[in-house]
Amino acid sequence: MDTSLLEYDLPDELVAQTPVEPRDRSRLLVYRRTSGAIEHRTVAELPGLLGGELVVVNDTRVVPARLKLRRASGGAVEVLLVERVDDNGTWEALVRPSRRLRSGEVVGPVRLREARGEGRWLVEVAGEPDGEMPLPPYIHEPLADPERYQTVYGTAQGSAAAPTAGLHFTPELLAVLDPVRVTLHVGLDTFRPVTESRLEEHTLHGERYAVAAHSWKRIAAAERVLAVGTTTVRVLETVARSGELEGRTTLFIAPGFEFRRVDALLTNFHLPRSTLLALVMAFVGVEATREIYRTAIEERYRFYSFGDAMVVL
């Protein structure tokens, strides 16, 4: 697939800078796959749109992983923790500026262990991370409440970014939908732009996932499954193929992919040239997705992490 199909033009003012209150007041574009019809609703109306689908969510929590530190010389260093490697405080991190740093150097609560190229380091962190929320670079407004970059149901701390489709859920909506929970700790590589000219040339690093046996039993038995977010899709389709309830997934879902366990999808509107947009195109179809995005822009939907959502039924 030519990656130019992942491009689209978005007016800057449609990049959501702050979340909607309450969460479920976000707009919801509804796409019916059988007819191609598009409706405009709100997330609060989701229960009335479903036809018995089992809802599955990703219960990961975002780590306050952006550490702004100072070297002994006084120079500023930013450490962004990407993935926990073990239970002894070892993390993979992005560190900048990285060029003059040396293995063994201690910066605040962080000891640099091993440079891995392209600004990536293996580091040791004393205690639990206590930095800022790692908001995406396209969000310029300060976040008044850090919990607004967490889902209300997240319990498994370990992500470098939020599973943003779940940000629309309130406790009241959650009680009505009664979702099954799975876990995938989101890594920054998920959001790394596709720079290759052919989508097939792009690769993903692994991300850790886990599904309880009783949860998978319900998922496997369901007549239809609604995945909340692209990370949930990757967990479900990984387990459907491997049978492994825990591990790492490098599954790259792109057009031509055969879905085995996801029948409906709730997701936000994603960045151009992203693997997340490629996943949506795999589920909906390339031209149908491009038409949905054209409609969303015309209707002035809000885009990206704090933006509105779409559901494909």
Taking only the tens place, the pLDDT of each residue in 129-179 is 999 999 999 999 999 999 999 999 999 999 999 999 999 999 999 999 999
pLDDT per residue over 226-242, tens digit each? 999 999 999 999 999 99
Interval 246-256: pLDDT, tens = 999 999 999 99
The mean per-residue pLDDT over the stretch 271-289 comes to 96
> How would residue 3 be classed by pLDDT, with cut points 50, 70 and 90?
confident
Whole-angstrom Cα distance, residue 125 to residue 161? 19
pLDDT band at 21 (very low <50, low <70, confident <90, very high): very high
Q: 45 in the Ramachandran plot: left (φ > 0), alpha (ψ -120 to 50) or beta?
A: alpha
In DSSP terms, 96 is beta-bridged to 78
- What does the pLDDT read at residue 191? 62
For residues 121 and 83, give the distance between their C-alpha atoms in angstroms, rounded to a whole number: 11
Note whether 3-62+134-312 and 66-125 share their fold: no
pLDDT in tens, 79-114: 999 999 998 999 999 999 988 899 999 999 999 999
3-state class of 269 per DSSP? coil
Q: Please calculate the CA angle 155-69-19 and round it to the nearest 5 degrees.
A: 45
User: What pLDDT score was predicted for residue 201?
Assistant: 81
Residue spans per domain, the chain: 3-62+134-312, 66-125
Q: How far apart are CA 120 and CA 102, in angstroms?
A: 13
Q: Which pLDDT does position 225 carry in this prediction?
A: 98
pLDDT for 221: 98
Digit-coded pLDDT (tens) for 172-226: 999 999 999 999 999 877 667 888 888 788 787 789 999 999 999 999 999 999 9
pLDDT tens-digit readout, 4-20 = 899 999 999 999 999 99
User: What pTM, to 2 d.p., does this model score?
Assistant: 0.95
Dig out the tokens for 155 from the structure: 């319990």
Q: Measuring CA to CA, which residue among 165, 170, 162 is closest to residue 143?
A: 162
Q: Which CATH superfamily is domain 3-62+134-312 in?
A: QueA-like (3.40.1780.10)
Q: Nearest 10 degrees: CA dihedral of 52, 163, 147, 193?
A: -150
Name the residue among 58, 221, 84, 249 with its Cα closest to residue 154: 58
What's the CATH fold of domain 66-125? Thrombin, subunit H (2.40.10)
For 58, 191, 231, 279, 283, the CA distances from 237, given in Å and listed in that order, are: 13, 19, 10, 12, 12
In this structure, the strands spanning 76-84 and 66-70 are antiparallel
Query: Which amino acid is it at 111?
Result: R
| Residue in 116, 258, 271, 279 with CA at minimum distance from that of residue 184 | 279
